[in-house]
Structure 1
Amino acid sequence: MKPCKWLLTFFLVAFSIGESVIAAPIVQLHSGRVEGRSVNGVDAFLGIPYAKPPVGKLRWQRPLSATSWQGIKKTTAFGPSCLQTPMKGSSTPLPDHYSENCLTLNVWRPSRGNGRLPVMVWIYGGGFVNGGSASPVYSGKAFAKSGVIFVSFNYRLGRLGFFAHPALSGNLFRGNYGLMDQIKALRWVQDNIISFGGDPNNVTVVGESAGGYSIHALLTSHYSRNLFNKAIIESGGGRYQINGQYPWKKAQQTGVRFAKQLGIESSGQQALAKLRSLPGKTIAGDLNMWNMEAQRQTYSGPMMDGHVISENPEKAYRAGDFAHVPLLVGANDDDLGFVRQHYQNRAQVLAMFGQHQSQAAKAYRDIQGTKALSELIARQKMMIEPARFVAQEFAGQNVPVWEYRFGYVANAREGQWQGAKHASEIAYVFKTLAATYGPNVTARDQKMADLIHQYWVNFAKTGNPNGASLPHWPAYSSKTDQLMWFSPKGATQSHALRDPQQAQLNMVETLAK
């Protein structure tokens, strides 16, 4: 084996994989040395602590740097996912291993590489109540094989990650502990990624759903500036309705109600001590994506804490108060949306547009059925139009931005799905189709994965998704309103075009004003 040019040493202990014998890679971090595993040209370091366990008195505190260790720590298995009630039917299932002591991260890198490589940092979705970095769908192997160092991490969820209470109000860093974990992980990358051969000045954050919303928060928070250089947001919204429901005082009231539900009546330090003494499972409860809305009386989610989040993203973008870094943003054609009332006919649905009702009737004239119409508008309001809004704001302030819409449906789901569901693009981005569809992956499926993966890799490397042999993807401009359409017909039919929902999204935009 030729020596790498990276600042590391290789531990001269070997293990066998099949007929090959590969040296276990060792890296020196600020906190100590870690030993990973090398398989098929990719080094993986799994379960590296990036912060102290957030337990006991550190529950509902900002994360502190991990305690240093002596010797070599084996990092060849994922750490436990953060405490949660698993969601049945998840497209990104996790191993059955959960703990409040969960602040670990994972690094994949090419076994051999020259110079400093670009870095991608993944933030998972799950509504801030579910999710973890150990899902096979989130494996960073394909990115490493494409010449990128890939990092994923766990962050606190549910009431353990997002909690306000009067006894915590005196803390400068309060409430959004899960977001603080994300910032801590990004600081860890800045401090340590060079030891893996990564470039701390070429870091791209990537997130989907709640992970995408998190990136809106990171882009607009003053506590995360200079921690990354580019961003990719997949189905992360971007307007006020995704955030802003919970100002700090309202979140405090929610925390008090939760404490009273557990028999803790006071609101001072004694109450906080009692809350911290409870088992983590008691705090987490049965909260998950399926019942989150029903538990809003005792769970706030992300809140306006006044420090980490001091403004909702929509207002920050309009004011130009955000990190001006290249952005890739988009949504899926059958993305997430919630219809919150029953409509008896089309006229009732279109009435939401008020004075624009006649224009809306024209824009949606080809949509058949009341249910189909209300569901389309719901997902346009929640995911599709906000992605365009963000692209417009970035482009309007001369920040490079590219918009996409993902419409491809896997062969295994044809006939079952009318379009690309929320989160269905992830397995293509990661090239982990087998983890989702098993043996039913077709050559056409794989070609779509090759296409979208390469765009993401190019963006991470250069800040521009375009590259040789790929269909040209023009930067977004409000004048042309062009996006990259990942077609239901496959990679060979994917191309840039004027947004086919332009007239409809213009109507949805009026609902946000």
Structure 2
Amino acid sequence: MKKIMKTTTGTYHGVMDHNHVDFLGIPFGYGRRFKRAEEFSIAKFGPNEVNKLHYAVHQGIQPMQEQALNRNDIISFGENCLNLDICTPDVEGKYPIVIEFYGGGFLRGGNYSKQMSWLNHQSVVHVTPNYRLGLFGWGAVDGGDTNVGLSDQLMAIQWVVDNASSFGGDVENVTLVGISAGAKSIAALMSSNAPVMDRIQKIILLSGGVQTIRDLKTAQKVSEQICRENNIKSTKDLFNLTDDGLQIVQQRALKDHVATNWFGPVIDDDLISKDWQDKLLKRVKKTRFKTIISAGSNELGTYKDMSISHLEKDVLPDLFGKNAEVLKEKLLQKTYSKSDFVKMLGLAMYALPAKRLADLLVQNSDAEVYCNLARVFEGQHGGILNYLNKPVSELNIDYRKNQQYLLNLLFDFIATGKPYAEEIKYEWPLFDDDRLILELEPDDLKSVSIINQRYPQDLPWQSYKL
């Protein structure tokens, strides 16, 4: 099998693995401090570089994050981390392309650790790009650009579109899949003004939607708060720190906080407009992209080990800012237990935004949307991913067939846009007027209606606000 591909950013030799070819650390852009991504130009290195063969067999530089401060780590971290990994069945084929954006609260992650291992070594091209994290990618800094991390993701998508035929991908069959911050990124990308997003046919959102799109003032206040915690006079002074220094400053400010909502896409009237909902609806009407939206039944169940005092006084405002009391008032009874409170947090963070996004798409554009409520791994955040990635040999024998049925549905959606499991003649129901969803138990999947579930209609779209 051929193991070489010639792309717009160079010629690369991959390595065989499980009858697939893996290419690691392929550059697609340059990352400069607080600036949007610049295209990677192989020509800058000389006229002979285009045809020079590079061995793409080692992991590329990873985004700056807390792990970068561990000097014993063999992984290389840095700001200029814009590279991607590819796993393809055949560089001369024409397979569906799946681009994975990793989760991690916009604070951690990278293509060194594949979160979607269920996509590896299948009849799809699996692409995993890096994007910058924390202040590096999502900080609103005086003198810097907005939506830096979003620009990284857009450049990666453009690279895939431009080079699909070089690695055996079908540019007319591209799916974006993400978990948590990755899913929130994809939802923001589809709501953005970026033309390349019209090339996307399908998206899979696991525990994430549009809820982290925030106003510019909130993003600026997060950066200012980090500066205050470190006695830094102005956000502009963050330009002067080393990459390690900036990471240390960020860690010092985030210490003892649940900061998973502190960063995210920004309404800047450039990449993302104030009327992002209209832009999203116009895109789905234009391109007819199809969507799977999944959430867990008890997303933040692990918070049950925290005290109710800590949950109320610290965690709630960390997650929602000034919206905390509004959500508490709307979603909780006057008297409640700690269990009620934890379920409310998961509902407000993930399950309710998932349903609202599905409603927005279906009620206003007649889009094809498929919804899922996951009860696997106690319905906790990332539970569906743990279920999909679990080796068959490690699964309870009663759960094994069900895992394969779910995988069949997802791969059928990726290939054709119609999720159907032939072996059990099960078709994932459309989320239409009947509000049918797929309810996933460890050993069963079934269609249920949530038409009778009622939630307040006047909740803010922006989860975290300062």
> Aligning the two structures, in what range does the TM-score lie when normalised by the shorter sequence?
0.7 to 0.9
Contact map agreement 2:90 2:168 (CA 8 A) in 1: no
1:71 aligns with 2:71: no
What amino acid does structure 2 have at the position aligned with 1:391? Answer: A
2:82 equivalent among 93, 103, 111: 103
Give the RMSD, CA atoms, in angstroms: 3.6
Structure 2 counterpart of 1:415? none
Measured in 1, the distance between the counterparts of 2:172 and 2:384 equals 27
Counterpart position of 1:473: 428
* Cα shift readout 1:134-173 (whole Å, capped 9, x = no counterpart): 215434xx535431111011100011111223323xxxxx
Residue 507 of structure 1 corresponds to 455
Q: For 1:315 and 1:391, how far apart are their aligned partners in 2? A: 14
Q: Does 2:345 align with 1:378?
A: yes
> Are 1:32 and 2:10 matched, yes or no?
yes
Distance 1:37 1:289, change over 3 A: farther
Question: Contact between 2:18 and 2:121, CA under 8 Å: does it hold in 1?
Answer: no
1:386-465 mapped onto 2 (5 Å cutoff): 386-396=353-363, 397-409=365-377, 419-429=378-388, 432-434=389-391, 440-465=394-419
Q: CA deviation at 1:420?
A: 2.3
Structure 2 counterpart of 1:329: 293
- Once residues 130 and 120 of structure 1 are traced to their aligned partners in structure 2, the CA distance between those partners, rounded to angstroms, is 21
Equivalent residue, structure 1, for 2:192: 221
Q: Tell me, which stretches of 5 or more residues in structure 1 are unaligned?
A: 2-9, 11-24, 88-93, 169-173, 343-348, 410-418
Hey, what does 1:128 align to over in structure 2?
A: 106
Pairing 1:62–2:36 present: yes
Q: 1:288 to 1:443 in 2, by over 3 A?
A: farther
Number of the residue aligned with 1:152: 128
Deviation at 1:35, TM superposition (A): 0.7
3-state DSSP of counterpart to 2:29? coil
Answer yes or no: is the 8 Å Cα contact 1:428–1:453 preserved in 2. no
What's 1:285 paired with?
248
Matched residue type, 2:119: F
Query: What is the identity, as a one-letter code, of the residue corresponding to 2:142?
Result: P
- CA displacement at 1:126 relative to structure 2: 0.7
1:448 Cα shift? 3.7
Q: What amino acid sits opposite 2:373 in the alignment? A: R
How far does residue 43 in structure 1 lie from its aligned partner after superposition? 1.1
Q: Give the CA deviation at 1:494.
A: 1.1
Q: 1:495 aligns with which of 441, 446, 462?
A: 446
Cα separation, partners in 2 of 1:60 and 1:295, compared to 1, 3 Å:
farther
> Distance between the aligned counterparts of 1:154 and 1:47, measured in 2?
9
Identity of aligned residues (%): 24
Letter in 1 for 2:205: I
Using a 3 Å threshold, how does the CA distance of structure 1 residues 286 and 455 change in structure 2: closer, same or farther?
farther
Distance 1:448 1:97 in 2: 39
How many residue pairs get matched?
428
Q: Secondary structure at the match of 1:285?
A: helix
Contact 2:327/2:348 (<8 A) preserved: no
Give TM-score scaled by structure 1 length: 0.74
Partner of residue 321, structure 2? none
CA distance in structure 2 between the partners assigned to 1:66 and 1:351 by the alignment:
45
SS at match of 1:191: helix
Superposed CA deviations along residues 43-67 of structure 1, whole A, max 9, x for unmatched, are 1111111112x2xxx2222111223
Name the structure 1 match of 2:151. 180
1 CA distance for matches of 2:449 and 2:253?
Answer: 36
Mark the CA change 1:373 to 1:194 in structure 2 (over 3 Å): closer, same or farther: same
Which residue of the other structure, out of 175, 179, 182, is the alignment partner of 1:208? 179
| Rg larger in structure | 1
Q: Is the CA contact (8 Å cut-off) linking 2:105 and 2:263 kept in structure 1?
A: no
